Structure 1
Amino acid sequence: MSDPDESNIDVVRWATRELARKFDYGYWREKDKLGEYPWEFVRAFAQGGWLGALIPEEYGGLGLRLAECGVMMQEIAASGAGASGASAIHFYLFPPAPIIRYGSEEMKQEFLPKLARGEILMAFGVTEPTAGVDTSRITTKAEKVDGGWVVNGQKVWITNAQNAHKILLLARTSVRNEEKPLDGMTLFFTDLDRDRITVREIEKLGRSAVDSNELFIDDLEVRDDEVVGEVGQGFRYLIDGLNSERIVVGLEGVGLGQAALELATKYANERVVFDRPIGQNQAVAHPLADSWIRLESARLMAMHAAKLYDDHENCGKEAAAAKYLGAEAGFDACDRAMSTHGGYAYAKDYHVERLWREARLLRNAPFSQEMVLNYVSTQALRLPRAY
C-alpha cells in the first residue's frame, strides 16, 4: 500500500478505537444478559458517519475501501464489544453490497443514504434449514404475477429480523437445473412485512445482544422494481460480495482474540499464586505469546487479502485463508484466556466467557472451516473437488 493509504488506515483505526472503547465491558455484559440490541452503540457510529463506510459518497457514505472497513471492524471487536458490537455494525456494511453494485439507480438513491445514516435496518435472508451450505438447494420460491412476485418459503439464522425494516431476500424464480444449479435465484430488496413474514427468535449460545431468527414467509408480495439486478442472477451477486465479508470476518476474529488476550495478560500480571504472578510461569506465558503470534499472522493475511480486493485482483484463496486464520487464532486466544483465568473464567465479571462464546461462532459462520479447506484444496492445490 502507498503511504497515503496507510495514513487513511491509521486515521480509521484510531478514530473507531476511541469511539468503540467509550462502551465498556459492563455495557456489553448487560446487553448480553438482557438480550437487548445495542442501539446506543449503533447510533454513536451512525453519528460518526461510520455506518456508510462502504457506501459511495454520492449516496451519502464515506466511500472507504475494504482495508479501512476491516480495520474498523477489528477495532470494534477488540474494544470488548466482541461479536455483539461487530455484528451490529457489520450488517450495515456488507448486506447492502449487492444493492451498491447491482441495484437500480432509483433503489440506490432512495435507500443507500438512509442506510448510511442508520435510519433503516436491514436483514439478509439467504440461509435455509434444509439447504445448509448448498445454497443451490434453497426452496423459498418467488412466483411471477402481474407487476411483481409472490414469495413463499422459510429462512433461518437471519440476523436483525426482530427490528429490521427491509430484507434482502434470495428466492428461486426458476426450477433448479442440475447442470447449472446456481442459476435461477433472484435477489429482492423489499419490506420485511410482518403481516406476511412470521419472525421467530432463536435462543442461542452467544451474541445475545444481536438477534438471530427463523422466518416463515407466506404470500409475500414483492414489486418488479424491488428486484436487485437481473432476475435469475441473484446468487452471482452474492458471490461477488463473499470475499469482502470473509476478509472482514477474519479481522473480527482477530479483534475478539485481541480483546481476550488483553484481559488475559492483565490478569496474568496481577494474579499472584505461590508468591509470584502467574504470568511468570511459562505454562501461562507461552500459550499467550503463541496467541499473539497467531493473531498477528491472521491480521497480516487479512490485510494482504484486503489489498488484493481493493486493487481489484483475484483474492479468493487469500480471503478464505483470512477467515480461517482469524477464526482459529481468535477462538484459541479466547480459550487460552479462559485457561489463564482458571475458575474465574466462568465468572461473568471477568468477561472472557462472553468473548469465548462469541468467538466459537466464527468457526462455523459465515461458512465452516471445513468448507474453507475444501475450497483451498481445489483452488490452491488443484486437488479433486470433494463437494
Structure 2
Amino acid sequence: MSIFLPILALLLAGGIAAYHRLSLPVWAGLSAVLLLVSWALGGNGIAVAVCALLLAAVAVPLLLPDFRRKRITAPLLEFYTKILPPLSSTERQMLESGTVGFEGELFSGRPAWDKLLSQPAATLTAEEQAFLDGPCEELCRMMNDWEATHVRADLSPEVWAFCKTHKFFGMIIPKEFGGLGFSALAHHKVIQKLASVSSLLSSTVGVPNSLGPGELLMHYGTQEQKDHYLPRLADGREIPCFGLTGPFAGSDATSIPDTGVVCTGQWNGAEVVGIRLNFEKRYITLAPVATIIGLAFRLYDPDKLLGEKADLGISLALIPRETPGMEIGRRHFPLNVPFHNGPIRGKDVFVPLSALIGGEEYAGKGWAMLVECLSIGRSITLPSTASGSSKLFTVATGAYARIRKQFGLSVGRFEGVEEVLARMAGNAYAVSALSEATAAAVTRGENPAVPSTIAKYHCTEMGREVVRDAMDIHGGKGIILGPRNYLGRAWQGTPIGITVEGANIMTRSLMIFGQGAIRCHPWVLKEMQAAMIPERKTRLREFDRVLFAHIGFAVSNAVRALWMGLTASRFGRAPGDAYTRRFYRKLNRYSAALALCADTSMLTLGGKLKFKEKLSGRLGDVLSQLYIASAMLKRYEDNGRPTSDQPLLAWAFHDAVHKMELALSGALRNFPVRPIGWLLWMLVFPLGRRAQAPSDRLGRRAAALLMTPGDARDRLAHGTFVTPCDNNPAGRINSYLPKVVLAEPVERKFLKALKGSDMETAPYDAQLAAGVERGWISAVEKTQLEELRAMTLDAITVDDFDHAELEAAGARQIVRLADAAEAA
C-alpha cells in the first residue's frame, strides 16, 4: 500500500487542480505538498522519489515560458496550421458574426450561473404594454382567420388598414423615423399574441419587422435612404419584401446565380453609373403586395468602374416595384395559410448605385450584412409564432379535455390522454421560456447568432409536436375545418415554420453545433485567430497562451465529467432554491460532458467534423437542451419561483435531460474513431445512462394543471389572445373551464339521481325540469346545468357547409368557362 500512496497523492492533486481549474504553479505546488504528506504517512521512499521526478519532468518545462514556447508550442503551432481547415471569407464572417451571451458558459464545463440569474427580468415599458392591451387586443378581435384563409385568401381591407394606421409594420423602426421604436421583447410579445389567433396575421406583421429592408436600412442604410424609406415603411405607405431564395440556390446566398453588373445607363433622363440586374427569386413573402423589393445578388464590375476588383461579391439593393424590367409573379399558395408569397423576376433591370443598401461603400458586403441581421430576425418571428400557438392550444386543449366526456368521464382523465396533455404542457412551457430568452437577449443589445438558431429549430419542432398532440386529443373536432376549428389551419401550416429561414434538418445538423462549437467555445476561435497573426513572435506568444489554457480546460472537463458522472451530480456549489439546486448541478455535469465531447471531436476529426452531420446534430442537441433548460430555470426565477409552476418546470427539465443523454449516447456509440468513443463513454457515463423520461406521476400533475383553473395555468397562457368572442373559439372554450369545474359536482349528483328513474330516456330539458320538481337539484343548479350543456355543445360542435360553399370561386369560374367553350 505504501507504494501506491505517492501515486494516489499525484492523482488527487491533479484531480483537485483540474476540477477547480487551478493554475499550473498551484497544481505543481499542491502535488509537491501531497507527495511530502504521502512520504510522512509512510509512503515508499523510492516510489515518492520516482513520482517527484515524474512531476518535475512534466512541471518544469511547462513552468519555463521561453523553453515551453520554443520546444513545445512552436512545433504544435506548425502542426496546427497544417491541419487547420481553410475558411472561406463567408465562413469566417459567419463564425465571427453576432455576440456570445450565456450560451458561451454552457460550453465552459462550469457555467457561471450568476451571469444568467443576474440579468434583469425582461419587462415591457408602459407604452409597449399599452399597445398590447390596446391596438394589439383590438386587432385580434377584428381578425377572422376562417374568412381570411378560406374566403379571401388575404387579410380583410379593414385589418390591413388597421395594421398600417397603428404602425404594426413599423414596430422596430425608431421613433425618429415615425416608427414605434419597440424593444425586441415587445416585438416578440406582439407576434406571440397575433399568432395565437392567426398565423396568417402574425406572418404578415412579422416579416416587415424581421429580416428585410427595414432592419437592413436601420443598420446599414445611408442617411438619405433612412430618411426616405423608414417613415414610409413605418406607416405602411411602403410594403417591403426581401428576395433571397432562388430556384437553384435556395437560401444559400453564397451560391446565388442572380447577378448585377456595374455599367452606365439611363436613370431619370440622365446617364449615370448604376447596376444592370438579372434575377429570379421565389418563395418571397409579401412579394405580391410589396412596393419596395430588397434584393440579394452577386455584383460584378468588369470595367473596373468602382475599383480594381471585377467580382465584388454579394450585394444588397432596394428596388421600387415599378422599376422597368421588374416582374412580380403570381402568388404561391403555402399550405392553406395564404400569406402573400410569390416569385419575383427581373431582366436587365437598371438602377443607380444609390439603390445599394448603404450606398457604394457597402458594395460586396451583402453576406456580412445578412449574417449580422439574420440572427436578430430569426430570434423573434418564428419562435414567437410557435410560442403563441403552442401556449393557446395547450390551455384550450386542457379545457376541452375537461369538458369533453366519454363513458361518463372527462377524456383528460384517461391515462393515454393525460400522457399527451403532460407532453403539451412541458413543451409549451419550454417554448415560452426559449422564445422569450432569445427576445430578451436582443433587447439587451446582444446579437445571439447561436441561440437564435436553437430557438428557430426547437420552437418550431416543439410547436409542431404541440399541434399534433392537440389534434390527437380533439379528434374529429380538429379535422373538420370551419370557423369553429382553431387547430386545422395551424396543423396544415406547421411545415411552413419548419421550412422557412433554413430547413430544420440543415439547421440542426449543420448550424447549431457547427457555429456554436467554434463561436461559443472559450478557446477554439481564439486559437484560430492567434494562428493567423502575421508577426511571428506575437503569434507564438498568443498561441502559447490560448493553447495551454485550452489543454487545461480539456483536462478539467474530463475530470469534472467523470466525477459528476460517478456522483450523479449530487455535490458541488449551485444556485437556486431547495427545489431547483439539483437541476443546476445536473446542467453542470452535462456542460462538462458537452465541452469534453466537443473538444475531442474537433481534435480527432479536424476539418472533417463539418461533414459528420449526425455527430454534429447530436452534439447540437446537447447544446440546445442545455440552453433550453437554462431558459426555463431563468423563467422560473424571474416569475418569483412559483410553487405551482414546479410540475411544468420539472416535466420539461427531465425531458430535456433525457434528450441530452440520448443525444450523447448516440454521439458516443457512433463516434467515428471507435476507441475514442469508448474512452469518452467511460468518462461521460461511468455508471451508464441514468436519466429517465418524466415519470407518470409527474405527468399526472402537469396534466392536472391544464384541466384546473389556477395561476400556473394563467401564467402559461399569458400573452396569448384568450378573450372569449365570436372569432376566438379557443378563447371561448378556455373561458368555460372555471364554470365547468363548478358544475361537475352538480352534474354528478343529478346523473346519479337520474339513473334508473322513469326520466332516464326523456329529453334533457324534461329531465332537468323533473330534477327540480323531485328535489334532485335546485332551480339555481338547473340553470348551472343548462349553461354547462350550452358550453359543452359549443366546445364539441363542428361546422358543415353546402357543397357550393366549398368550391373555390376561381376554380369554379375556370370550369364554367371550359364547359362553355366545349358547348360552343
One fold, TM greater than 0.5? Answer: yes
Could you tell me whether the CA contact under 8 Å between 1:20 and 1:75 is conserved in 2? Answer: no
The number of residue pairs the alignment matches comes to: 376
Q: Which moved more, 1:309-318 or 1:341-350?
A: 309-318
Cα gap change, 1:15 to 1:286, in 2 (>3 Å): farther
Distance (whole Å) between structure 2 residues aligned to residue 309 and residue 18 of structure 1: 24
Distance (whole Å) between structure 2 residues aligned to residue 140 and residue 36 of structure 1: 30
- Show CA shifts across 1:174-199 (max 9, x none): 39xxxxxx970111111123752331
1:106 to 221, 224, 230: 224
Distance (whole Å) between structure 2 residues aligned to residue 107 and residue 339 of structure 1: 51
After TM superposition, the structure 1 = structure 2 runs for residues 221-300 of structure 1, keeping only pairs within 5 Å, are 221-229=350-358, 230-248=362-380, 249-300=382-433
- How far 1:98 moved relative to its partner? 0.4
- How far 1:55 moved relative to its partner? 0.4
Could you tell me whether the CA contact under 8 Å between 1:153 and 1:218 is conserved in 2? Answer: yes
1:202 aligned onto 2:321: no
Aligned partner of residue 184 in structure 1, secondary structure: strand
- How far 1:10 moved relative to its partner? 4.6
Could you tell me whether the CA contact under 8 Å between 2:315 and 2:356 is conserved in 1? Answer: yes
Q: Which residue of 2 aligns with 1:31?
A: 148
Aligned partner of residue 207 in structure 1, secondary structure: coil
After TM superposition, the structure 1 = structure 2 runs for residues 114-263 of structure 1, keeping only pairs within 5 Å, are 114-146=232-264, 147=272, 148-174=274-300, 184-193=313-322, 196-198=325-327, 199-208=329-338, 210-229=339-358, 230-248=362-380, 249-263=382-396
Cα gap change, 1:4 to 1:206, in 2 (>3 Å): closer
Aligned partner of residue 62 in structure 1, secondary structure: coil
Could you tell me whether the CA contact under 8 Å between 2:334 and 2:496 is conserved in 1? Answer: no
Q: Which residue of 1 aligns with 2:307?
A: none
Distance (whole Å) between structure 2 residues aligned to residue 194 and residue 110 of structure 1: 17
Distance (whole Å) between structure 2 residues aligned to residue 92 and residue 51 of structure 1: 6
Amino acid in structure 2 at the alignment position of 1:207: V
Aligned partner of residue 228 in structure 1, secondary structure: coil
- Show CA shifts across 1:58-77 (max 9, x none): 10112122111111111110
Distance (whole Å) between structure 2 residues aligned to residue 119 and residue 6 of structure 1: 28
1:60 to 178, 186, 191: 178
- How far 1:117 moved relative to its partner? 0.7
Q: Which residue of 2 aligns with 1:376?
A: 512
- How far 1:253 moved relative to its partner? 1.2
Q: Which moved more, 1:278-287 or 1:241-250?
A: 278-287
Structure 1: gaps (5+ residues): 176-181
Aligned partner of residue 225 in structure 1, secondary structure: helix
Which has the higher Rg, Structure 1 or Structure 2? Answer: 2
Aligned partner of residue 363 in structure 1, secondary structure: helix
Could you tell me whether the CA contact under 8 Å between 1:260 and 1:355 is conserved in 2? Answer: no
- Show CA shifts across 1:258-281 (max 9, x none): 233344234323222211221222
- How far 1:288 moved relative to its partner? 2.4
Distance (whole Å) between structure 2 residues aligned to residue 65 and residue 289 of structure 1: 33
2:194 to 61, 70, 76: 76
Distance (whole Å) between structure 1 residues aligned to residue 446 and residue 231 of structure 2: 28
Amino acid in structure 2 at the alignment position of 1:74: Q
Structure 1 stretches of 4+ with a deviation exceeding 6 A read none
Amino acid in structure 2 at the alignment position of 1:140: D
Q: Which moved more, 1:346-355 or 1:300-309?
A: 300-309
Amino acid in structure 2 at the alignment position of 1:247: S
TM-score by length of 2: 0.44
- How far 1:342 moved relative to its partner? 1.0
Distance (whole Å) between structure 2 residues aligned to residue 68 and residue 174 of structure 1: 41
Q: Which residue of 2 aligns with 1:21?
A: 140
Which structure would you say has the larger RCO, counting Cα contacts within 8 Å and 6 or more residues apart?
1
| Identity across matched positions, percent | 21
Distance (whole Å) between structure 1 residues aligned to residue 151 and residue 515 of structure 2: 44
Q: Which residue of 1 aligns with 2:206?
A: 90
Q: Which residue of 2 aligns with 1:359?
A: 494
Amino acid in structure 2 at the alignment position of 1:344: K
- How far 1:326 moved relative to its partner? 1.2
Distance (whole Å) between structure 2 residues aligned to residue 89 and residue 314 of structure 1: 22
- How far 1:2 moved relative to its partner? 4.1
Structure 2: gaps (5+ residues): 1-118, 265-271, 302-310, 518-597, 603-608, 614-824
Distance (whole Å) between structure 2 residues aligned to residue 3 and residue 351 of structure 1: 32
Distance (whole Å) between structure 2 residues aligned to residue 337 and residue 286 of structure 1: 12
- How far 1:328 moved relative to its partner? 1.2
Distance (whole Å) between structure 2 residues aligned to residue 103 and residue 380 of structure 1: 29
2:457 to 300, 308, 324: 324
Aligned partner of residue 295 in structure 2, secondary structure: strand
Aligned partner of residue 275 in structure 2, secondary structure: strand
- Show CA shifts across 1:35-67 (max 9, x none): 532143233233233322110111011212211
Instruction: Give the helix-richer structure, 1 or 2.
Output: 2
Amino acid in structure 2 at the alignment position of 1:171: F
Distance (whole Å) between structure 2 residues aligned to residue 352 and residue 302 of structure 1: 21
Distance (whole Å) between structure 1 residues aligned to residue 435 and residue 131 of structure 2: 16
Aligned partner of residue 422 in structure 2, secondary structure: helix
- How far 1:16 moved relative to its partner? 5.7
Root-mean-square deviation over aligned CA pairs:
2.3
TM-score by length of 1: 0.90
- How far 1:133 moved relative to its partner? 3.7
Amino acid in structure 2 at the alignment position of 1:244: I
Q: Which residue of 1 aligns with 2:616?
A: none
Aligned partner of residue 206 in structure 1, secondary structure: coil
Cα gap change, 1:275 to 1:298, in 2 (>3 Å): same
Distance (whole Å) between structure 1 residues aligned to residue 145 and residue 323 of structure 2: 29
Could you tell me whether the CA contact under 8 Å between 1:302 and 1:318 is conserved in 2? Answer: no
Aligned partner of residue 287 in structure 2, secondary structure: coil
Could you tell me whether the CA contact under 8 Å between 1:16 and 1:76 is conserved in 2? Answer: no
Could you tell me whether the CA contact under 8 Å between 2:387 and 2:435 is conserved in 1? Answer: no
